[in-house]
Amino acid sequence: MLQTSVSQIESQLPYPGNTTRDLPGVEYCSKWNVLHGLKRRWQRERRRRKVGRAYDMALEIAQLLPRDSSVLDVGCGNGFIAHHLSALLNASVTGIDLGPAAEAAIDYRRFDGKFFPVQDRTFDAVLLCYVLHHAQQVSVVMEEMRRVLSNGGYAVVFEDIPAAWWDRLVCWTHDLKWRNRTGPCTFRSPFEWQTIFTEAGFEVVSERVLSRWRNLAHPVQRRCFVLRRGLAESVA
């Protein structure tokens, strides 16, 4: 398109020796197109990386949940993890978060950070990927998890752990980034999380240490907890 228009301009110049390089308007148009093209390429690359990271997370989560599950992704963000999970598990996945919409085409619902906008006992699993440290009232979130899970349902929780001084530094910078948007973050030790989970009526089925180097932009120690809603609590 640009080459054709430039050729047409050159053919209409009054002096044969002139070229479009002598026209400031054409030079500006050419530079603008280059910058616009670079910007679009950068945006595509950022989206490709977001989708790729979400796919890696979804693959990991899919190994922990049964097929054909109904899953609630709390704090789903852009929604790409939920989108990939629905395909990997043939699952019905609903995403909730604070924003007005998700980027991915999912069943998305906005919520206030406390109460889940879904009915009681409607999900086989609840997913919280690095979300609980943002919760201002973690006990309310735990109660909501119990409310929406079916009997014996599972919760998969990923969390940053401030184990060493480096981890605490990374958590501190993360808190500075998010405190004006979601409130101050509260990072806890594995023992503190286990206490919160058991007191809320969940059984800790498994706990796995994750490498801090899985995300070079956020190198902090991580844990993956798999919880099960106690049957005795479900019947009560």
Per-residue pLDDT reduced to its tens digit, 61-120: 999 998 999 999 999 999 999 999 999 999 999 999 999 999 999 999 999 988 999 999
Each residue of 45-62: pLDDT tens digit? 665 666 668 888 899 999
pLDDT of residue 83: 94
| Residues with Cβ within 8 Å of residue 203, at least 6 apart in sequence | 227, 228, 229, 230
Q: What percent of the chain has pLDDT over 70?
A: 75
pLDDT of residue 25: 58
pLDDT of residue 212: 79
pTM above 0.85, yes or no: no
pLDDT of residue 181: 87
Tokens of 220: 């902090």
